[in-house]
């Protein structure tokens, strides 16, 4: 019987510790994980790897470039990536003390889900499985 190919997940986040933690969690349950620490790098890597799912932060450090909101819209408009589900995982609401939540929207926030940091491992895995259309 042929072995099932691991789904590829791209993590785009400038927090090295978060990336390492998410990588360990996802690889531990059988996913293949790649990462980028900056937005442009993440977009280029996504175009090259064609991941099954992209996990994206909002506030990305480094040279001027797209934030996670802009990046999600670029991914959605890209002919090769537009069908790739994106989950934003961010602490932006807490950092900026925003009184509202972010809701996925086809034009402004074309993502499968918006999750708040810190996130519990079981919540992240459930969101990943849902975005990939896998059974829980």
Query: What residue ranges in 47-85 does DSSP mark as E strands?
Result: 53-56
3 occurs within a structural domain: no
pTM of the full structure: 0.89
Give me the domain span that covers residue 99: 8-119
Total tally of structural domains belonging to the chain: 1
**Burial (CB count <10 Å: 0-12, 13-18, 19+), residue 6:** middle
Q: What is the pLDDT of residue 66?
A: 82
Q: Note the pLDDT tens digit of each residue in 38-55.
A: 999 999 999 999 999 999
Question: What's the CATH number where 83 sits?
Answer: 3.40.50.2300
Query: Do residues 60 and 67 lie in contact, with contact meaning Cβ atoms separated by under 8 Å?
Result: yes
């Amino acid at each position: 019987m042929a072995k099932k190919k691991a789904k590829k997940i791209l993590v785009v986040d400038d927090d090295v510790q978060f990336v390492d933690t998410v990588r360990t969690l996802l690889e531990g349950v059988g996913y293949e994980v790649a990462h980028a620490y900056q937005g442009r790098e993440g977009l280029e890597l996504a175009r090259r790897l064609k991941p099954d799912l992209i996990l994206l932060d909002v506030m990305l450090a480094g040279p001027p470039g797209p934030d996670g909101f802009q990046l999600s819209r670029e991914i959605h408009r890209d002919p090769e990536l537009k069908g790739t589900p994106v989950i934003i995982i961010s602490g932006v609401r807490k950092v900026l003390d925003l009184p509202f939540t972010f809701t996925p929207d086809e034009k402004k926030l074309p993502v499968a889900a918006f999750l708040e940091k810190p996130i519990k491992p079981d919540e992240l895995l459930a969101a990943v499985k849902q975005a990939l259309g896998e059974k829980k």
